[in-house]
Every structure is written in C-alpha cells, then in structure tokens.
Amino acid sequence: MSAFATPTWYERDGIRHDMTNGRSGIAEAMATSPATENTPPEVIGWRGNIYQIQVATGPHGGKHSVYRPNPLNVRMEGIGKGLAESVLRSCNVGEEYANGKVERENPAVHRLVWTDLTINVRNSGGAYPIVTHVGTKLGTFGVRRALVMSSGAGHVVKTAVRANASGRLVATDIDAPDGLQEYVVYGNAGPGESIVRDIVAHDCGRGVFQGVYRSTENAFYTLEEEDGVSLLVENIEAINCGAAGSSAVSITGWSDYITVRGLRVDTRWNTGAISLRYDKKQTLLDKPNTPKTANVIGEGKMLASGHAHGTVVLDLEDSFIRTGVDIGGQKAKSSRPAIMVDSCRDLWVVSNAATRVQAGNGNNLAMHVEHQGAGDIRTQAGVKVGTRGVGVLKTSGLFGSWRGISRNGQPISADEYLSPR
C-alpha cells in the first residue's frame, strides 16, 4: 500500500506525519495523495473510526475536510469486511476543488471507493450517512466488501449509501442484516459502467437497490442513447424487504443497457422483486419540488427514443422469487406482480427450469409488461414526450414456474415471444 492512515496520523513513503489541532490523519492522507486522474489510484490503508469525512465539500480548513488542487483518485482500504478496526460512520462528497471551483469536465473526485470495512450508521442523525451531493458530478464512487450495521426500518437512516452525484457507481459484496428505512444502495445515473453486485439485505422497508435518472436532480447531465452507459445489477438477495412498498430492485430511468441477473427474493410482504418503469420525475415538471402533484411540461430526461430505458435484459436463470400474501394493512399491494417493466426500447426475459417466480402465494401475476399501460407520455398541453410502451419484447428459455404473465393488461404466454438467445 502506498500510504497508511489513522484518525491522528498518516504515513507515506516511510515518513510519518502526526496531526495537530484535531486534524484527521485520514483526511490529510487523502488531501495529500500524489495520485491524479492520470495515474493509477493510490491505495490508502486505514484503521480507526471515521465519524465524519468531507470530500470536496465542507469548511475550508476543516478538521475533516479533503480539498485538493487536482482530482482525488484513491481506494480507501480498511482491514476487512465487518471488522471493528475499520469503521466508517459518515462520508459527505461534493465537487469543489481547493480554490472553490467546479470543473465537471474534470471532476474534483475522479475516484473514491471504500473497501474492506464496516459501515456503522446505528447512531446516525441523517437519512443518508454515506452520500454524494445532488447536482454534482464525479468519476467513480462506491463501496466494496462491507458490512452495514443499522437500526432497522423504523429508524432515521433511509439508505446507507446514497450516490446522488452523476457518476459511475460501484457497490459490491455488501451485507445489510439489520434493515434500513428504504434501501441499502440508491444511485443516480451517470456516465460509465455501474455495477451493483453481491448484496444481501434483510428487512429493508423498500428494497436493496434503487437507480434513478431524473430531470429534478443533476439537470446538467444528459444521457445519450447508444453511448454505452450501462448498469449491471447481479446476485441480489432480499429477505423480507418491502413492507413500505417498492421492489427489491427498482429502476426509474438509467441507461443505454441494463442487466438484472441472479435474484433471490423471499418476502412475506406483497411487494415486487423487480420494477423498471417511467417515473414522472424523469420528465420536465412545472413544480419539480412537488412531483406527485406537478404537471408534465417537457420531455426532461426521456431518452431520444421516448423511453425511460434503453435495452433491458432480465437474466433470471436459477433465480428464486417469492413474494407474500396479504398481511394486515397491505391489501392495497396485494395485486402487485413480482416483476413489472415498462418504457424501454427492448426487453429480454431469460428463464430456465430452475427459475421460480411466485407472487402473492401464486395468486398475483409473475410478470406484467407495460403494467402502467403502453400509451403515450404527454405534457399538460397534450404534446407527446415519451411512451410507457416496450418497443420489442423477447423471451428465452423455460417459463414453467411463472404463474401468470400479462402485457398491457392482457394475458400472454412467454412462448409467444420466444427467440434464440
């Protein structure tokens, strides 16, 4: 490792630097890292409790602030997943350079990835303790090999890792056994190949991952269709999540190419396993701060084809999905299909003999394509700005366990759309 840091000192190239006046050694190691956007990332090994760290944000000269004249490019490597020697409690990320300027063509954070650690948000006073700012851009941000310690769905923390900034998101090998109010990871679309993989969560109020692309956030960023931006969501396990609704994997606009592969969803709640859909926040609204009551006045962030998503592949070979039966207070959700997809250019659904999809004890639909209808998305003035429809639907494999598939409210058979993979 190039450097080693603790809350009170850091070492680089064999030289130890002791901090004074409460300055964080971990923050100083990041601020003085010799890596730039043109070099490999520096690996900074760290130990201790990080109660707060403010990267490209916060007070200049602050004890926990990280400001640099050139982009930050580091991997922050703790001692191991779930171990008490490396604990992150709060991380706040912006986009300012040391001179206060913002350069989105060369963001102040080129890479910041936390690895091999414990994320402890049990005593957090905020909804998003690990967060990048709305209205910002960065290169790559994420977490690898982490245990999330939290206080459950009924407490203040909504999501452990909230990547608001437009950038590449990496979230892999994360366990969240205690539950959160909403999700484990929640990210906004950005350029690059984002990966959400190998996450196990129990008792989250909504689900494991939500991905969004909105005109109400990061309005400066425009996703170009066919630009290679992609999202992979793979090996997700959600146990008894969804008491507050939503789905284990929820995506409302994101990328040119989306793959969801390998799910284990087992919940007593009448919720979904996968939801990919148009959401009003993706369009231009007359009252963006109150989207539920706002009127659509423009296309906003719809793709050039008029869809919320490009190509979507649901590769569910060997996946297990079982959603619940009615529980008191859950009647409004009792008809929810396990899988819901609309507003994408192309949709592939892949299954095999080992796949199991059961919704509402088998009484609900396994999948509903165009579940919000296949009609146009129009402004208040009646101008078409998009479609809820799915351009091309194709299936591949065996669908014997899928009890009920519909498209735009009408029953269909997966065999009608079979195609060589």
Backbone angles phi, psi at 336, to 5 degrees: -70, 125
Determine the residue type at 258. I
Give the mean model confidence (pLDDT) for residues 140-147.
98
Q: What is the mean pLDDT of residues 366-393?
A: 97
Residues 145 and 240 in one domain: no
Q: Would residue 50 count as lying in a domain? A: yes
Same domain, 249 and 102: no
Q: In this structure, are 345 and 415 located in the same domain? A: yes
Token pair of 241, please? 């999540």
Cα 58 versus chain centre, distance: 24
- Can you give the pLDDT at residue 333? 64
Same domain, 118 and 196: no
Asked if 278 and 223 count as a contact pair (C-beta separation under 8 A), the reply is no
* The pair of three-digit structure tokens given for residue 211, joined into one six-digit string: 């991905």
Phi-psi region of 108 (alpha: psi -120 to 50; beta: other; left: phi over 0): alpha
Instruction: Please give the residue that has the higher pLDDT: either 235 or 254.
Output: 235
Q: Count the Cβ atoms, other than its own, within 10 Å of residue 287.
A: 11
> Does the pTM of the predicted model rise above 0.85?
yes
Query: What pLDDT score does 420 carry?
Result: 83
Q: HSE-up of 36 (CA within 13 Å, CB side)?
A: 6
Is 163 domain-assigned?
A: no
Inside any domain, residue 380: yes
pLDDT digits (tens, 9 = 90+) for 88-112: 999 999 999 999 999 999 999 999 9
So what's the pLDDT on residue 2? 84
Of how many residues is the chain composed?
Answer: 421
Compute the chain's Rg from CA coordinates: 22
* E strand or H helix at 315: strand 309-315
Residue range 392-415: mean pLDDT, rounded:
96
CA 306 vs CA 63, 215, 376, 390: distances in Å: 47, 14, 9, 11
pLDDT at 362: 77
Side-chain half-sphere CA neighbours of 334 within 13 A: 10
**The pair of three-digit structure tokens given for residue 143, joined into one six-digit string:** 């977490």
Query: Which helix or strand (DSSP H or E) is residue 194 part of?
Result: strand 193-202
- Judge whether 159 lies within some domain: no
Average pLDDT over residues 342-347: 97
**Does 334 have pLDDT greater than 80?**
no
- The answer to whether position 175 is within a domain reads no
SS (H, E, C) 346-396: EEEEEECCCCEEECHHHCCCCEEECCCCCCEEECCCCCEEEECCEEEEEEE
Q: Are residues 348 and 215 in the same domain?
A: yes
**Looking at the predicted structure, is the pLDDT value of residue 193 above 80?**
yes
Task: Identify the pLDDT of residue 134.
Answer: 97
What pLDDT, on the 0 to 100 scale, is given for residue 108? Answer: 98
Please count the structural domains in the chain: 2
- pLDDT, residue 360, reads 86
Q: In this model, does residue 120 exceed pLDDT 70?
A: yes
Q: Provide the pLDDT confidence category of residue 330 given band limits of 50, 70 and 90.
A: low
Q: Are residues 236 and 351 in the same domain?
A: yes
Instruction: Please check whether residue 168 lies inside any domain of the structure.
Output: no
Average pLDDT for 335-361: 95
Q: Which tokens in the block code for residue 61?
A: 């000269």
Highest mean pLDDT among 55-59, 221-225, 332-336: 55-59
236 and 375 in one domain?
Answer: yes
Strand pairing category for 65-66 and 193-202: unpaired
Q: Taking CA 411 as the corner, what is the angle to CA 407 and CA 417, rounded to the nearest 5 degrees? A: 65
**CA 233 to each of CA 169, 333, 373, 390, 398: distance values in angstroms, whole numbers, following the listed order:** 11, 25, 25, 20, 22
Structural domain for 385, as ranges:
189-421
**Number of Cβ atoms within 10 Å of the Cβ of 396:** 19
Is 160 within the bounds of a domain?
A: no
Q: How many CA atoms lie within 13 A of 421 on its CB side?
A: 13
Same domain as 206, residue 100: no
pLDDT at 332: 58
Tell me how far apart the alpha carbons of residues 183 and 39 are, in angstroms, rounded to a whole number: 34
Q: pLDDT (tens digit, 9 = 90+) per residue, 77-90?
A: 999 999 999 999 99
Check: CB of residue 25 under 8 Å from CB of residue 5. yes
- If asked whether residues 201 and 115 sit together in one domain, one would say no
Average pLDDT for residues 35-42, to the nearest whole number?
97
**pLDDT confidence of residue 101:** 97
Q: Are residues 149 and 211 in the same domain?
A: no
Dihedral pair phi/psi, residue 393, rounded to 5°: -110, 130
Render 13-41 in DSSP notation, one character per residue.
TTEEEE--TT--HHHHHHHT----TTSPP
Mean pLDDT of the chain: 95
Which one-letter DSSP state was computed for residue 144? E
Q: How confident is the model at residue 227 (pLDDT cuts 50, 70, 90)?
A: confident
Beta-carbon contacts of residue 32 (< 8 Å; ≥ 6 apart): 12
Beta bridge partners of 172: 144, 197
Same domain, 228 and 143: no
Q: 255-299 pLDDT, tens per residue? A: 889 999 999 999 999 899 999 999 999 999 999 999 999 999 999
For residue 50, the one-letter residue type is I
In a domain, 246, yes or no: yes
pLDDT at res. 361: 77
One domain, residues 213 and 99: no
Give the sign of the dihedral formed by CA 338, CA 357, CA 346, CA 369: negative
Residue that is written with structure tokens 């296309």 in the block? 299
404 band by pLDDT with thresholds 50, 70 and 90: very high
Average pLDDT on 150-163 reads: 96
Phi/psi for 63 (5° steps) reads -65, -30
Rounded mean pLDDT, 16-39? 97
User: What amino acid is encoded at 162 in this protein?
Assistant: R
Q: What is the DSSP letter of 102?
A: -
